[in-house]
Amino acid sequence: MGERVLETAVEQTVWDVIALYLRQGYVHILPMGLDHILFVLALFFASTRIKPLIWQISAFTLAHTLTLGLATLGYVTLDPAIVEPIIALSIAFVAIENLVFKDMTRWRPAIVFAFGLFHGLGFAGVLSDYGLPQDQILPSLLSFNVGVEAGQLTIVGVCWLVLHRFADTSWYPRLVRIASAAIALMAIWWTIERVFLGG
């Protein structure tokens, strides 16, 4: 896939490259990026209020944009065998935090920022697999990142539209606990798989 994208991008205009990498970034989240989808869902379930959501998503965006850019440009490298288990652990951590604390903690944005740095390295690995046109690295990098953001905002937006009206109901906290427990279990399995089974 990476070779096909690279060859196509080289032959096209900058606007074609932008459209191509926007799509690749979006598709990497929806529908392909189940681990990133679950991370964003775990963030959402911490609070349906707009301000806490903005703080979390902003911290995550800033962090993964930073490392995605640095890694793609060759300034930062880290073995995927380290990055991928940490991404899985990050999902488990935020999901378990939802189970332990009734409201979003003060330190959640800082934790999300730290984990976002590793998610950015994961995005960089995917972008490297796709391939980058050497004469249009910046537009393809920025477009891919915007596509990733659009995918994440789609998840948050749909969840908010569907669920925010139920946040004050008696059953909503139970939904948060069940969803967070399911996310945590899946992420713990991914961690085991990525560390011990080479997944």
Its sign, for the CA torsion 56, 33, 89, 145, is negative
Domain region containing 73: 2-196
Whether omega for the bond prior to residue 31 falls within 30 degrees of 0, making it cis, is yes
From 124, 100, 87, select the one nearest 45 (Cα to Cα). 100
**How many folded domains does the chain comprise?**
1
CB 48 within 8 A of CB 163: yes
Measure CA 151 to chain center: 9
Residues whose CB is less than 8 angstroms from the CB of residue 177 and which lie 6 or more positions away in sequence, other chains included: 98, 99
SS3 112: helix
Half-sphere exposure of 24 (CA within 13 A, CB side): 28
Q: How many CB atoms lie within 10 A of CB 15?
A: 10
Residues whose CB is less than 8 angstroms from the CB of residue 31 and which lie 6 or more positions away in sequence, other chains included: none
**How far apart are the C-alpha atoms of 28 and 86, rounded to whole Å?**
19
CB 151 within 8 A of CB 39: no
Measure CA 17 to chain center: 22
Tens digit of pLDDT at every position of the chain (199 positions)? 444 455 444 467 888 999 999 999 999 999 888 999 999 999 999 887 888 888 999 999 999 999 999 999 999 999 999 999 999 999 999 999 999 987 777 889 999 999 999 999 999 999 888 888 888 889 999 999 999 999 999 999 999 999 989 988 999 999 999 999 999 999 999 999 999 987 6
Name the token pair of 79.
């073995």
pTM for the model stands at: 0.87
| 56-66 residue pLDDT tens | 999 999 999 99
